[in-house]
Amino acid sequence: MVTKGRESKPHIGIYGRRNNGKSSLINCLAGQEIAIVSDHAGTTTDPVKKSFEITGFGPVILVDTAGIDDSGDLGQKRVDRTVGTLEIIDLALLIVTDNSWGKYEDDLIEKFNDHDLPYIIIHSKSDIQEPTAEFQHKVLKLTGTPLFEFSSADKRNYEELITLIRNTIPEHSYKTPTLLGDLIRYGDIVILITPIDIEAPAGRLILPQMQAIRDILDNEAVAIVLKEREVDTFLKKTGIKPALAITDSQVFVKADASIPHNIPLTSFSIMLARVKGDFDNYLKGTPKISELKDGDRVLLLESCSHHVSCDDIGRTKIPRWITSFTGKKILYDVVAGLNAISRPITDYSLVIQCGGCMITRKQLHNRLQSAIKAGVPVTNYGMAIAYVQGIYDRAIAPFVKGEKHKNTYL
């Protein structure tokens, strides 16, 4: 499957039947031959990615896919890979030609809608066969979306297509929202509690810590970075009263004891959950930890790949803390990166998603959709840790203004 990994640029997927002109379109948009073009159907076998600069907008990633009508056992695998790209796509371009529409297009539109994915329907090869008024009316009636006429050969309506793409890509796909801008003001001091343990990368901080520092600086505030054992001495010696403290979730208890209770405290993971995750559903799902029973299965979604230590947060610490908190015999599965979930989502009583620092908001929401639609409670690493350690209300308080979320264990 194609994944974004560290690639945060908006992803535009090109979909349609074999030999409908998908590769020609992607070459035309990119201004160079990056996809193989042939008169033979099925030339594109696996999804192909290419960076492309939209003038006046910025860089995007074009994703060329195999034909949705591919056949045979191998063809079905290529179709599965094509459908799999919908998890990472911010905008879909559905390519049709020769005034042709059928079940393949209906199925794609249904999948776009299932993923809440904006799309543009393009009639390609219009230099050979222009779309008829009847066909345009049919597409509009079936989808509610106007048909766009285009030709890679003569570049008809090229600038109009670029403008349409620019106007259709969701804003959240290319604008990075502030992490803390609504919580801090000019000159505020923010303490970042960052333990340096076996999971910390050598010579650098982890990505959520770097993102927090940058966001604090962007908001004209001051970031002070400390290890957990230095916090008490620092506050005592300086007399500084920070506007906010953010901690690594693994040292929540120590941070809760060190940071006076009149100073807001949260974690890097909860900070990301509020901006990138499904925070409202996390708030609903977190207290369900108290309802876990013997034999229940919990899924931990770790949406990045890293070296696994003997005391890993997702594989070891969170399961240990939840088991200790509930006193139940619970089964745990961990899925890393964007790998497929092997069990039906309904096998799980709870899904716990990491902060998602390495993936986009779209990817994270897509990752959780099957659970949410099936009524399976979802939460976040930081929120789950705060809950089982008895500091949930304090940890979410900065982000739930005026609301009170009472825990079942209080």
User: Distance between CA 113 and CA 247 in Å, rounded?
Assistant: 38
205, 256: one domain: yes
> Where in the sequence is the domain holding 147, given as residue range(s)?
11-173
pLDDT range class, residue 61, cuts 50, 70, 90: confident
DSSP H/E element including 122: strand 119-123
215, 287: one domain: no
pLDDT range class, residue 366, cuts 50, 70, 90: confident
User: Distance between CA 336 and CA 304 in Å, rounded?
Assistant: 6
194, 258: one domain: yes
Residue-wise pLDDT tens digits, 325-361: 999 999 999 998 777 788 999 999 999 999 887 777 7
pLDDT range class, residue 16, cuts 50, 70, 90: very high
43, 162: one domain: yes
- pLDDT of 349 reads 97
**Tokens, residue 44:** 């594109």
**Tokens, residue 84:** 């799999």
CB atoms inside a 10 Å sphere around CB 31: 9
Query: Which of 27-31, 200-204, 231-235 is predicted most confidently?
Result: 231-235
Q: Which has the closest alpha carbon to 192: 169, 221, 163, 213?
A: 213
3-state secondary structure of 277: coil
User: What residues have CB less than 8 Å from 201, skipping those under 6 apart?
Assistant: none
User: Distance between CA 230 and CA 227 in Å, rounded?
Assistant: 6
* Structural contact between residues 70 and 62, judged by C-beta atoms closer than 8 angstroms: no
**Tokens, residue 99:** 């005034």
197, 114: one domain: no
DSSP H/E element including 213: helix 207-218
pLDDT range class, residue 107, cuts 50, 70, 90: very high
pLDDT range class, residue 399, cuts 50, 70, 90: very high
Residue 100 belongs to some domain of the structure: yes
Residue-wise pLDDT tens digits, 122-172: 999 998 999 999 999 999 999 999 999 999 888 889 889 999 998 898 776
- DSSP state for residue 24 in the 8-state scheme: H
Which ranges in 115-180 belong to alpha helices (H)? 133-143, 158-168
CATH number at residue 204: 3.40.50.11420
258, 387: one domain: no
220, 346: one domain: no
160, 73: one domain: yes
The owner of tokens 């990119």 is 30
Residue 184 belongs to some domain of the structure: no
- pLDDT of 49 reads 79
Mean pLDDT of 44-48: 57
349, 314: one domain: yes
Q: Which residue has the higher pLDDT, 41 or 206?
A: 206
Domain total for the chain? 3
Q: Which of 140, 173, 206 is the last residue of a domain?
A: 173
166, 200: one domain: no
284, 193: one domain: no
Q: Which of 226, 244, 270 is the last residue of a domain?
A: 270
